[in-house]
Structure formats: C-alpha cells, structure tokens
Structure 1
C-alpha cells in the first residue's frame, strides 16, 4: 500500500500582493445629476476669466451668430452652440486666447408679433399704444427669454463670457447699428425706391429672402384672353418709287390679310396669381419661339370658347392649352404662323377694358413686346406683366425707362385691394389668419363674367411663406429703402473693389476659407445674382433708419436725403444714452435737426432697419468696439447653419463690405440641419422632435455633445432614441478607458518616470502613436474636423489601448515589482492621461473634468485651465512602427487561433496555451524573435518556427504565411500571475513563478 503523498500545505492568497489599479472613478457616470455641480464650480473659480489672464497668447475669436431671443432651445441650437464650443475650447487648449462672446438678436417681427398677440388677447390695438411703451414691452419680452436661453446654453457646457453677452438691443449696440447705417447714408449707396419686394400681408411688412421658407401651396391658375385690337406693320409699306403696281398691291393685300386674321384674335396668358390681373400693364413674348394662330372649330358643353374664336399661342404649348379649355383634338386647327415681328405690331386690350362699371380703369392699351424671361416650358408662351408684383417685369420696364407708366398701387399693406378699385375694392388676397382671401375668386368670377377666361384650374407648387407666421407672402410694390450694391461706395476703402458686390465677391475668394468648400460656391452665386439690399421694414421694434428726407421732394432729387454729420452726431449721442427709443420721443425731429435745419422742410423716416442689418452689424459692436473683441475688427471664424448663406453670413458680408470694405471673417464653417432618426424634418405636429433639455435630463449634456462630435456636421444629422443609445455605448467604452488609466497612474510620481530611450519597444511604439495623434488632433481641431478628431481618438482608445496595449501591459502593471518595464508602462500611462484628457476636453467637457479632478483634486484645479501638452516630434519612429505593425499582424492570428480553442472549451484562458507559430516571412519572423511575443499574445509560452505552416495549422486569410499550431502550456500555474510555467513552485515563495517570487521579495 502506497503512502499518501498529498501536500496539505495551504497556498497563500497573493491577491493583496498585486499592484491592482486604485481609483474611485465610478463606472456609472450619473451625468444628469453631477454635471450641474461642475457648472457651478467653473463659475465659482472663474475658469473663463482665468483663461483670459494667460499672457502672450495669440488671440482667436469665434464670433457668435446671434440666436433669436424667443422660445426654448431646439436641437439645432444645441448642435450649433456645441460645435462653436468645441472650436473655442480646442483653440484655447492649443495655445490661443480663444474668446467667445455669446449674443442675442433682440429686435424684429417675431417679438413684436408676440406682443401684438398679447394685446389682441386683451382687446387692445397696437396702433393706439404709444410706440415707446410698445417698444418697452418688446424689450422686456426679449430680456426674459435671454435669461432662459442663457441658462439652457450654459447647461450644455458652453463656455463664454456669459456675464457680459452682446445684445442688439443694448443702447450702445443700437447706437453703433445706427452709426453704420449712417455710413451707408453718407457714402451714397442708400436710396429710396419703389419696387416689388416680398411682403407679408399678415405681418404687414417687407421680408428678406432669409425670412422666407418654401412650402407646397395650392393656387388658382387661369388662362386669360387679351384681345388684339389693332395691327400695324409699317415695314410692309413700299416706298421704292420703282416698285410695280403689282408689288404694291401684294403688300397692301398681305397687310390687310394679316390685319383681318389677327384683329379680334386673343393672345392667351397663364398665371397662378389671378389677383395680379387688375394690375396688369403688359404682355410679353419670346423672340425665338414659334407661334401660331389657332381657330376653334367646335366646342363641348361647359367651355368658355366658341366656334370661330381665334387664339395666338406658342406652338409647343397649344395642345395642352386647348386641353385645359376642354377642347379635344379635332376641335381646333392651326391657321397660320405668327412671327415675332407680327406680334410686335399688335395692340392688346386688358380683358376688363370697357367693362361696365370699370370707370375706364383698364381701358388703355397694354404694352406688348419681347422679353428674355419668357419660356415655353409651361403656360402659353406669353407672360402677363404686373411690374408692381414681379421682379422680372419690374427690371424689364426699369431698363426701358417706363416704370412710371406701368407701376400700380392697387394692393395695400394688409394684402387688400385699394378701396376705390372697381369691382375688387377691399377684397383680400389673404385673410388675417393667413388663409386664402376673396381676391382671387373675385377676379376669376369677373373675368368669367366679361368673357375674359379661356380656362381655369388649380395647381400645387412650392411657394414662399413667412417663416414666422407661416403664411404665404406676395410680391408687392411699395416704397422701401435700399442699399445699392453696384453703386460706387465712395468711402475710399477700395482695396477689394469700389462697390459692395465687388468687395463681397473678392472677399469670398481671397479672404475667406470655407468649411465645407461648397459654402463658397453657395454664397458666391447668391451675391453674384442678388438685387439691391432692402433695408427697411414697416414695423416698430428695431433700430430706425435714422435719416430725414426733403418734404415734398422726390427720391431722385440730389438733395432728397439730408446728409449732415452734425445731425448724425446728435442722433448717435442720444442713442448712446437713451437707446433707439430716442427717435420716437416727442420733439425728436426738432432735437436732432437742431438750429441748422427747418423741421418743416424735412420729414423724419420711421421705418426700422431689417433685422439682418442688425445682426450683420454685430462685428462692429462686438469685434471692433469691445475690449475683448479683436484688434482689426475681423473674426477668425463665423459658424452657423447652411441656411445662413442667405442669412447672417450674407448680411454680415454686405454690411461689412459697405462699412469696412471687406468680409468681417476669415473662416466660415457651416453645419447642416438636424433630422429625426428616419431622415425626416422635425415637426411638433409629427411628434418627432428631440428636445435638448430632455436629452440632458435622461443622458447628460456630454452624451449630446458626443453625438455632435460623432456626426458629420457639414451634412444633415440624424438623432433619435436609438442613435442616442449608440452614442451612450460609445461613451461607456471611452469612460472605461479613462478609468483604467486612472487606476494605472494612481500614486505615480516623478520618481517613477522613465526616459523614452530607456523604455521597451512597446512603450516607444505608444509614444510614436502619440506623436502621430498629436499632429492629427491639432490639424483636425484647426480645420474644425471634430468627427475626424473624435473617431481617431476613439479608435486609439478602444483598439490601440484597451484591446492591445492595456491588454498586454495589465500583467506587468499588476504583477511586476519595481521593474523598469512597469515604470516605463506607468510613465506612458501618465503621458497618455495628460494627452487624452486635454484632447477630449473640448468634446466631453464634464467627463474630462471629472477624470482630471479624480487625479488632481483641488479648488483651483480644472482640465479646462490646461493646454494640450507639446508632444516631442522625436517620439515618432516610423521604422519601429512598421516593425510593430508586423508583430501586431502575427498577434491577430494567434489570438484568433486561441479564440477557437476557447470556444471549443479546450482552454479557459489564453495563459493555458503555448502555441507554435509558423512564420514564412523572414522579416516578420525576425521581428517576433526580437520581442517578448508570448507576453504580447498573453500566453504562457510561444515557440517560433520558420518552417512552412502545417496543414492543420490555423490561418487567417488576411495574413498569409502565418499559421498557429495549438499546444498547451507545460508546468504549474502561478497562483499570483496565473501563467503556467515549468519553474512554478521551485522558488522561496510557494506556487509562484520566478518573476512573482522576485516581486514578493
């Protein structure tokens, strides 16, 4: 019987001897509850002001495009402000004095509209309220929303001078807006004109293009008959004395035949705005189109044509026109060609000419001529012209010098016809609620009654609407004030051109960098094609056009506008002290004109400036006028949504080119729109909106910021619950990386630091990656590529660090004693910590602060007071990186082979393996023999062979010539590091390997 040789000694528990990571940094972030505390802390220690105190730093200024002080923030606001914040913070941490002065647009129709709504609810009439009192109500309304929005922006972690933002309604701002308007006045580009502008009948004011959005609208469409009343072609006269009698008779006969054919025929026009027919003054045709004279041969019931009726139409459009008139093929025929010369010899009558009760309103002949804006794509080949309600017609007759003959004033500011207009007086194009009024129907019914209609119908098309009231707009001729963009400015600032347009176009190409580049093309094309800038609005809440006009004078008179520097100075002095309200106070005209001018000789202008002039002027009172502005009054960057190419980017360019002679910015960065998860536009009615406050409450602001960083902001972005869940998952993975780093560098001191030259190759490879990343991160932040920066850092953290370097070095960190290898790893972890926290701080402002304070607590401590550390270029080692790329390639094959064994339950962990790795490439084999490849693969041993891969060896298709044959590790399991090695149990400390025995001392 054999003796019992079982060893009953107790194996010590070595867990407490390991250098396990030590950190209180929680796995669960709890951002919604914890972020407000960091906000309070930043305000308490004055982070923004302390950054301004750092000396000798080059300035960098992002000029804030002002949001409107009206309503809670939407997701577009969150996207916009977060991108701006990442720009400011990243440039600050790259060594700049990066200033950010938030601002608000306070004037204009949206606020005025809200106050009017309040008045209407109380049964009050705005027009019966003192204008200064009304303006004060508007001011209070804006102040309330500024406070609300400021808190909402700050909750998103947005840094800036929140204590002293800029407001367009501040007295000094109103003074400078007026001052810049006076520069337009004095330089000669300001003029009063009467031309069609986009007009909101509901809001009773002109609108800028940026205040208009396009929606589908169903419109009436009509085909209207303009009767040919005369035909005269003097070029048919024969004056040649040598002409024969037969030749003379042929000419006379041709002239008579043409007259007989055309007189009494009808030129047919097509329009989608029947209400413009009472303002018709002309019809135009295309000089290059083929036209014909057509005759109706028979008609069905319910048709406005009769047999024998003759119509002149473009040949290409005749069939579809007759179809609209309910005439089938065979019920009409083509009689003859009609040449452009013959069209020009015709005289047309308005369809309402001679109508009983018209009072002669439409009895005069209509002008009839060729125009280059006529098309034969739809309609009839003829266009009816009401130059008071269409820019193309207006421009045509302005060029002909005929505006006085064709301009009408039939439509009032509320969209109703003037009360004395026959048949239609008082009829409204739109009702007060923006719905269809009775004007179109009244016009159509009257045309039908007098036999002026050929057909009618309805069409759904894209149509301009006011983005505030959502009501359709019209083009309406009304006296307005304009800035001429092609008139020499006359201010001596001619470096980039003599006109506003020239300066703008040269600025776009020579002075501004565009992100994305397509922004350049968009703004350039808009400014190249735009008309003069309409500066005036017929409202009360805003900065008035501070000018006077000659009483009884004409806008074309040279002395129509008062240009007196002394008067201007008095106005500015009053605005500085009292704000723009001073313009509306009793006795204002006498006060400003002083003793120099007779008040009876001058009229005071009470229109207000377009709010886009206000916001376009912000560079003047923020960049140029403030101590924390810029020396040259130029911003380093403007950043807004793509809609601002026709908004703030546009108006700022025009305003600055008219006042300082160039663009007010060096960079323009543009983001797209925010859509729901399916790519649909967000709408409260659809219930698909994502509210920033709700995201912050559920996830925290850092998750919302991370969503911004992960998105390609230059295109439209999508957001929804599932997308945010994915963002939160990315955040958790990144948070785990930072938690590991914190544990690894706990109690790290300068005494532990190792010089790069003394580090193992693996650590030097990490330093190489840091040198590469430092360049990429800085270039990315400088070029506003936040998606690229974050993707680069996220991949580095999750792939290079968590799944590779950390995975390999856990063993050395936990199990080594005070070895050079462990000190080198901890040194690298420290270097990683300082770079990752500062590289990521512009994006994850709260989380990186939490990480920083976990390691560096203290009342005055903050990661946002740090700069990104300079990374020595000498750390870069491309040859070493190439070598470790080969090592890593081989490691992937080994880990994949072991994963098969783990899945098959052959092993539980990679330390149970000691595989044989066959490498046919001698360069790769040499690299593997030069490194501790078993540690890199986290196995207890590895054998390397240059022999061909056996047939049963594991391979990966992407790594040909490398194969793995599985072998179990031989020896005992170290109870401290868990490696299986032959020497386990042969040392002073039981059941450990030589490395662990040395660590235990």
Structure 2
C-alpha cells in the first residue's frame, strides 16, 4: 500500500487525493452562507418552473399548521425536518413536490397570551373593544410567524416561505366561514345543550384535542340518599353514592343502579369514636363493595351486619331524598324527590354500586335522561362560566370550583370544601377521603377542566346528508370511516386503528367557543324560536354570499362592526327579527378547513383539493387529522388526504418526557449552534420517528460521529476524482469484476432508496446508504482500490475505478441531499462550482439496466467471505508483531470448495487482501492453518512472508523490484513512471 511518506523522488509521481473539502465541517458557521445562496438562486421557485416545464406529476405534502405563539421546540424541528425530507426526496424522484408552510393563528393559545399581558397590567379584557383586542391577537400572531419562519428556514427546510398560508388571512377567514356555512345549509348544524369539557379559567368549551391528562388529587365522598317511600321496608334506609366531584352534589337529580348486580341491606351495630354513622342506621350497598364502604367509614367488621338481600326489583318505584332536602336555609332547592332507576353505565368495580347523576355535568347521565325524554326535569344551571356557583344558590352561591390562579400548583377552589362542610353539617356523609387519579386539564392554562352543560353549536355526525356526495356514505361518520379504510394509507398502520376507533365512538362535533379571537360562527337565529323549531336558523344563500364577500375584503373582524347584521340581512329578511351569533369556531375547524383555502384555492395546491400526505405527531389523531377528516367529509364527501404519516414524541436520553422543571429540555437552537442543522437533520433520519424518539448530548455525539465517517467517505471520493475526465469514462461491461460488483450494489441500493423515500422510511434509507458508504466502500472497495488509484498509470482498471467513483459521487450526493441538505450541497459545489449550481436542482440518477448482476453478486459474496478469513489471519500476525503491514505477507490459502477456489483464481485475490502475493490451493489445510470456525467453513490460511524487495513507490514486496529501468520499483510502477 502506498503512503504519503513514500521516498521523495517518487512521492510526486503518485496520484494522491487532492481536494479542498475540509475534514472539519464547521457547519454552524457555514450553513447560513448556503441558505443565502439558495435564496439568491431561488431554488424553490426554480424547481417549480422546472416542474411546470417538464410536466412533472404533482406531489403535495400539506403542512399541519403550528401555533404562532413561541420559539420552536425539538418537536417542531422533528416535524418540519421529516416533512422537508419527504418533499425533497419526492422532488428528486421526478415529482413537482410543492410545500406551502402554514400557521394556525386563531384560538385560545394566542388569545391567552394577550390576556396574560392584560393581567400583568391590571387590564380587563372585557373593557377593550373586541375589534381592538382581535387586532392585538393578529399582531401577536404575525410577529411569531416571522420568528418561527426564520427558525424553520435555519433548519434547511425549503418551501413557499414568502407566501405561506395563515388562518388569519382574509381569504382564509372567508373560506373558513364558507365551509362553516356549508354545514349550516346541509342541515347538520344545530344548537344544543349538553355537557362539554369546560375550562372555568379560560371560560370556554374545549375540544378533546385541547385537553391533556395529568394526575390530580381530588376529595372523595360517600353521600347518603334516604329512601323516601312510606310503607316499604327500605323507608329511611340510605342508598349511598361515591363521587370524586363533591361540587356536583348540589346539581344531583338522580341515583342509578346496575340491574344485574347483587345488593344487600346492611345495619350498623356499633360505631367507633368520631364516626358519622349511628347504631341502627340501615344502608343499601352493592354486596361486592359493602365491606370497603364500611371500612372507609371506620367501622370494624363486627360493627355492621348484612340484614338481607335487596333484589333490584325492590328499587322500582322508589324515590330518594337529596341529603340537603329540608335543610334550614335551603329554600326548598333540593326538596324534590330524586329519580331512582337502572342504568347501563353503573359498575361494581369501585364506589358503592350506585351512581349519583348530575346530567348537567356528565355525558352518560345526560344521554340517559335525553333518551328518556326527561332532560327538562334534570338539567340545572348552577355553575357559571367562571366555574362559580350561581349567586342565588343556597349555601354555595359564588363559591368557586377552581381558583383564578394556582397556589403552589393547586387550583382547588372553595366549592368542594363548602359542599363537604354542609353535607357534614346535615349528616349527609357516610365517609370521606382523597384519591389521586388521571384528570383532564387544559393544555394551555394547565388548569383542570369540568364537564358543564352549556348551549353550544354542534355538527351532527350521524344526520343523513342530501348533498349529492354519497359515494362513501350519507353521513359524516360513515364517510369518515369509509375514507379511513378505503382511501387512506397509514404510516404506521396503528394510526388507522386509533383514528377509526375515535371516529366510530365520537359524539357530535362541538364547534363553538366562547372566545373573541377566531372566525365567528357566521349564522343568525330567529328571535322567539327554540333551537328545535323550524326557522330557528337563517339559511339563505344571498346572506351567505354577502358574509363571504365582506370577509374576503376586510377579514372576520367585520363581523363585529356596528351595523354589520343590518348590512348583510337587509333586503333579505328583517334584521330586527334575528340574533347574531358571536361565538367563534373551534380552532380545529379552522385548521380542518385548510384543504379548501390551501389545497383547493391556491395555484400551488392540488386539482382535486386532496393532499398526497398529511404528517403530524400521534396526538393529531384527535386533533388535525381528526378535524380535517370530519370537516372534509361534511363539505366534500371524503378525506382530504391520501397518506397519513405520524411521528412520536421526543424524549430525553433516559426516555423521560422533556420538562423545564426537570431541566432536561433541549431546543433546536442549541443543537444548531453547537453542531449545525445537518446534525439535527441526521438525528431525525437515523431515528424511527414512528415511535417516540430520544435525544440528548450523548446521542448527538453518536450522530456527529456517524456524520464524520460519512464525510470522510465523501472526501475520499472528491480527492480521487480530481483528475477524472469524461474521456476516461468506461462502460460497465469493460470493467473489472470488483467495479461491476459496486455497480450491482448501487442498482440494489437505487431500489432500496427509492422505495424507502416513497414509503417515508428515512431510517431505512440512511442505514442502507451509510452502511454501504462505510462498510462496502470505505472498509472494502476504497481500501482495495487505493493502490490502483494512487499507483497505476493510465490503465483500464484505474479508469474503471474513476468511472465508478464518479457514479458513486452522483448517487451518494443526491440520495443524501434530502437529509444532509447543507453537506451534500458543499460536496456538490466542491466538484461543480458555479453561480447556478446546486445538488437540490437535480434528480436521483437512474441505475443503468446492465448494473444488476445476481450471479456476480453471489460469486462475490463467497469471495468476500474468503477475504475475511485472510484479513483475520493477517491481523493475528500484526498483533503479534510478526508483520507491520499486510503488504509484508504472501500467505497460502487452502479452499475446499472448488467453485469458490475457481472464483478466487479468476480475480487478483492478493489485491483484494492487500498483500504482496497469495497462493491459492485446493489441498487440505494443515492443522496449523488459521481458520474462522463457525463463521466461514472450508478455508484455511497459512501465513508466509512476502519474498523480494519493497517497491519504493507502491510498497509491495516483490521479487522483480530493482530489475527495471527506474531504481527500486516494481514492474507496474516502472511502467507508470514511463
């Protein structure tokens, strides 16, 4: 093997690598320069023009909009990098791959930020004109759009950055209103009153996607409801319920039981000190739970007894007394008998076997009494928007379920304590305790939420649609389920199961939010009519067209202008007869409508308004994927996407969720400053993004090490191609087998790379290319061909090697360009400098038909196994200091397999093993021969030193050294010297 320390008179005759491509990348400092260069030559628009000129097929990844309300976190970086890899790879596979970034600009996250500023200044939001408040929200969102745009661009993400989509743009707001009005016109929109998740802190309804679950400690109480009916053996006995929400007891209207459970009548026979129970009291409890109920009341087992069975038939016709019935000062609030009946949702796993019903605060109870036609008798309005009890509620008026702000992390208000105190005072409790359980919290304020019955606007998911779009069903639910199974490909497949289950079991869609910053529900209701009466909602095409035109001109703020109702209703209906709705749309309706104002309406959208790919985190099965599906199924009859790709969450190195309080967060800016964006992008490509990923300092060091190894591979290629000329190019049929084997591997990889990018398997692409570059090339092909590249003259085998290196250059730079956008541009420009040159303007080269050669690959698989035995044998000699380099050896290799022996003899096996000579024989290997038992059978190596002198140019030890015209060289080097 040659070296740069070769004797001076011959060193300059070697073809040593020459390149200015640095070993140290310096990415943090150099990447901004490439960004400026891409902006100057306008890579994105250049590709759009190319796509149009070439008539390329369209490929559109539709961007799920992040909120414009803060700096990027690592999840943003993961998400946008995956999207960028998808878009770039499809562009380089021959598509016109367009990417329009977008932002969600309405909704609670942004409004909450403005309210926080108000609170800091002691300012009341309700005293600010709504249009002024909305303008502050708009300015806040616009500021963060600009910040995040630059942060995303710094990651190397390309797209239509100069014209993104924003849900607060006037056209977007107009289309969102139009999409809402389609539900108004198709009859699926209705106003109803049912329990919804409500945030008392933010004073608005929340969607499931706006809720996260955290552990919460709640008070638990066992409450006594006395049987009221005279003339029954159960009169005066107590039916006991258990609840973790004491604040709902004032709204209790019923108790329900399980029709198939075993119940018993129990009597207290003794009591300990400080016990709320009295000797002689009787209790009806589920047999399975009675013992633990008495234990909670601090009774020992000998202080209570089971009197008899109580069949559920005995419950029929009974009424129960609320524990506050007849209480002094209650003003008759709770004197009505409580309903008592069977219900399917009762369990005997915990509690008492009975369930307290406050249908205003529980969906199952609400649905039970809705189906019974009894809602009017059981709905209460005791809890106000801010989570306080109505002022005139006896005992509890003005008490708050939650505080305005947490105290040492605790949001607990005074309502629960007040209810428990009053129940204790009137003897209404059997026991009390505490429980820690998973509980829904607002993901914005982090405060607990409650279930609260309020008038809201809903879209009915099971109402039949007569809109002429029934190919995939005649209801929103059936269209959505059919789309999931027939029209969409899921990556990973588990995404299908998750969303299908959600859609299959979901209730009607709650659209309304009691906020100010958003697109209003652009509808009017007839004064004096109930929501269930015909004519309650104004459905008029002319009015809708006027609203849309006004929004297109001035945006949604126009809805709040004085006299707007009169302007849009005038000459159509009498404005005085209608109320204008001022709730705003759920922000998920905004983002769910993006298919209309982005995919359908933009020139760079899609002809059918359907995206090739939607990609977001797994939480978006209940968020953007979900709302987009419902929205599109209601307005266009099917899902707005063909592929749905989901990624997991980002964890720290120990697999823990990142948290500022734990100090384990890592932000993209940190990584970019320390390593460069390409290292962050490579981390994304290396990981299986479909599951949760880990990231941290040690992991990033490993990524950086992989990057350095690949960079060395590219540096070797660049250095070796310094003197390559197109006239040197050889056809594959004229090449040595080693070069043809490399081309075969490239043909295999071409399929792997394309299939990997097509199926969004970037870790598969990276691993295949990286292993090829570091194992097949650096550790094998390059190691072998260095001798030829450095020492040969103008030989066919050197020209063949250079041709293969040129082919490798074009494949590796383009295959990896979607991942390592900066580095592959650097590699490309090192070889092809020029003002308009860029690797991102070219496609993946096609593999030549003749490259794939299965027979050759099979032959070389055997050859490489034999080589492994030889190199292992030589390593033993090097370790034992017998030789210093493999060129000092000329071993004898014994090969039992005659076909393999013939294969080895057909090539220059000594070149492959980097020895000065090799003797191949089919004779049985002697006992002392080196073998790789259990790995490669039938091959033995007997070590022998090479005979002759060391060539002062190539360092091989050969008998002919010194016998040629040039002193101290072998015949091959003598010929090269001329």
Match of 1:707? 683
CA distance in 1, matches of 2:616, 2:454: 32
Counterparts of 1:373 and 1:953 in 2: how far apart (Å)? 78
The structural deviation recorded for 1:12 is: 6.2
Q: Tell me how far 1:553 sits from its aligned partner.
A: 1.3
Q: Which residue of 2 aligns with 1:20?
A: 16
User: What does residue range 876-891 of structure 1 map to in structure 2 within 5 Å?
Assistant: 876-891=852-867
Q: Secondary structure at the match of 1:874?
A: coil
Q: Does 1:986 align with 2:945?
A: no
- Aligned position for 1:409: 381
> 1:272 corresponds to which residue?
244
Aligned counterpart, 1:253: none
Contact 2:19 2:715 in 1 (8 A): yes
What's the secondary structure of 1:17's corresponding residue? Answer: coil
Note the C-alpha offset of 1:552: 2.0
Q: CA shift at 1:13, angstroms?
A: 1.9
TM-score (normalizing by structure 1): 0.96
Deviation for aligned residue 1:122: 2.0
Partner of 1:242: none
Root-mean-square deviation (CA), in Å?
0.9
**Corresponding position of 1:359:** 331
Q: Does 1:555 align with 2:527?
A: no
Residue 634, structure 1, aligned to residue 633, structure 2: no
Cα distance in 2 for partners of 1:747, 1:947 equals 45
1:160-559 matches, within 5 Å, as 160-230=159-229, 259=232, 261-434=233-406, 435-559=411-535
1:527 to partner: Cα distance: 0.4
Preserved CA contact (<8 Å) 1:677 1:719: yes
Report the Cα distance in structure 2 between the residues aligned to 1:695 and 1:302, rounded to whole angstroms. 61
Are the aligned partners of 1:112 and 1:541 in contact in 2 as well (CA < 8 Å)? yes
Aligned mates of 1:58, 1:29 — CA distance in 2: 36
**Correspondence for 2:26:** 30
1:177, 1:347 → 2: CA distance?
Answer: 50
Matched residue SS, 1:267: strand
> 1: distance between equivalents of 2:600 and 2:687?
34
Q: Is the 8 A contact 2:266 2:307 kept in 1?
A: yes
CA distance in 1, matches of 2:742, 2:932: 26
Tell me which stretches of 4 or more aligned residues in structure 1 moved more than 4 Å. none
Matched-pair contact (CA < 8 Å) for 1:11–1:991 = no
Among residues 714, 719, 723, which one is paired with 1:738 in the alignment?
Answer: 714
How far apart are the structure 2 equivalents of 1:123 and 1:683? 30
1:113 Cα deviation (Å)?
Answer: 1.0
Provide the secondary structure at the position in 2 that maps to 1:14.
helix
Secondary structure at the aligned position of 1:13 is classed as: helix
Distance 2:378 2:849 in 1: 73
- Cα deviations across residues 382-439 of structure 1 (Å, max 9, x unaligned)? 0000000001111111111111111110000000000000110000000111411000
Show CA shifts across 1:647-675 (max 9, x none): 00000000000100000000000000000
Q: CA deviation at 1:345?
A: 3.0
What is the distance in 2 between the residues matched to 1:317 and 1:535? 41
- CA distance in 2: counterparts of 1:624 and 1:396, whole angstroms: 42
Note if contact 1:536-1:610 (Cα within 8 Å) is conserved in structure 2. yes
3-state SS of 1:875 partner: coil
**487-496 or 970-979, larger mean C-alpha shift:** 487-496
Map of 1:135 onto structure 2: 134
**Contact 2:272–2:298, Cα closer than 8 Å, also in 1:** yes
Partner of 2:974: 997
CA distance in 2, matches of 1:647, 1:750: 55
Per-residue Cα deviation, 1:812-836 (whole angstroms, up to 9, x for no partner): 0000000000000000000010000
Question: C-alpha separation between the residues in 1 aligned to 2:851 and 2:114?
Answer: 64
- Paired residue secondary structure (1:140): helix
CA contact (8 A) 1:15 1:976 kept: yes
- The CA distance in 1 between the partners of 2:925 and 2:156, in whole Å, is 57
- Give me the whole-angstrom Cα distance separating, in 1, the residues matched to 2:713 and 2:192: 66
Q: Is the 8 A contact 1:11 1:990 kept in 2?
A: no
Report deviation, 1:961: 1.0
Displacement of 1:638 in angstroms is: 0.3
Q: Matches of 1:872 and 1:390 in 2, distance apart?
A: 67
SS at match of 1:268: strand
Q: CA deviation at 1:11?
A: 7.4
Of 632, 648, 655, 2:624 maps to: 648
- 2:786 matched to 1:790? no
For the residue of structure 1 that corresponds to 2:60, the secondary structure is strand
Contact 2:753 2:765 in 1 (8 A): yes
- Number of the residue aligned with 1:678: 654
Rounded to whole Å, the distance in 1 between the matches of 2:923 and 2:603 is: 74
Whether the 8 Å CA contact 1:915–1:942 is kept in 2: the answer is yes
Following the alignment from structure 1 to structure 2, what is the Cα–Cα distance between the partners of residues 552 and 334?
57
What SS does the corresponding residue of 1:262 show, helix, strand or coil?
coil
- Local SS of the residue matching 1:287: coil
Cα distance in 2, alignment partners of residues 399 and 490 from structure 1: 26
SS of match in other structure, 2:641: coil
Gaps of 5+ in 1: 1-9, 232-255
Q: Deviations over 1:871-912 (max 9, x none)?
A: 123210010000000000000011111111111111111000
User: For 2:86, what is the secondary structure of its paired residue?
Assistant: helix
Question: 1:123 deviation in Å?
Answer: 2.2
Are 2:67 and 1:71 aligned?
no
User: Conserved in 2, the CA contact under 8 Å of 1:984 and 1:991?
Assistant: yes
Asked if the contact 2:102–2:165 (Cα under 8 Å) also holds between the matched residues in 1, the reply is yes
Distance of aligned partners of 1:554 and 1:796 in 2 relative to their CA distance in 1, 3 Å threshold: same
Distance in 1, matches of 2:910 and 2:186, equals 80
Aligned equivalents of 2:373 and 2:974: distance in 1?
A: 103
1:838 and 2:814 aligned:
yes
Conservation of the 8 A alpha-carbon contact between 1:917 and 1:942: yes
Residue of structure 1 in register with 2:642 after alignment: 666
In the TM superposition, what is the alpha-carbon distance from 1:920 to its structure 2 partner?
1.0
Give the SS at the match of 2:338: strand
Q: Which whole-Å CA distance do the structure 1 matches of 2:723 and 2:939 have between them?
A: 42
Query: For residues 916 and 756 of structure 1, what CA distance do their matches in structure 2 show?
Result: 32
Q: After superposition, give the CA deviation of every residue in 1:779-828 in whole Å (9 maximum; x if it has no partner).
A: 00000000000000000000000000000000000000000000000000
- 1:89-146 CA-to-partner distances (Å, cap 9, x unmatched) read 0000000000000000000111111111112222221111110011000000001000
Q: Structure 2 CA distance, aligned partners of 1:11 and 1:111?
A: 72
What is the aligned partner in structure 2 of residue 575 from structure 1?
551
Question: Using the alignment, how far apart are the partners of 1:58 and 1:871 within structure 2?
Answer: 21
CA contact (8 A) 2:213 2:440 kept: yes
- Aligned residue for 1:961, secondary structure, equals strand
Question: Which of residues 684, 695, 698 is equivalent to 1:722?
Answer: 698
Q: Indicate yes or no: 2:725 matched with 1:749.
A: yes
Task: Give yes or no for contact 1:547–1:562 (8 Å, CA) kept in 2.
Answer: yes
SS of equivalent residue, structure 1 residue 458: strand
The 2-side partners of 1:67 and 1:105 are apart by 6
Tell me how many residue pairs correspond in the alignment. Answer: 965
* Separation in 1, partners of 2:925, 2:437: 70
Q: Which residue of 2 aligns with 1:586?
A: 562
- Contact preservation (8 Å) 2:793, 2:976: yes
732-741 vs 941-950, greater mean Cα deviation:
941-950
Partner secondary structure for residue 149 of structure 1: helix
1:71 is paired with a residue of what secondary structure? Answer: coil
The offset of 1:599, in angstroms, is 1.4
| Pairing 1:901-920 to 2, within 5 Å after superposition | 901-920=877-896
Contact residue 7 and residue 953 of structure 2 kept, 8 A: no
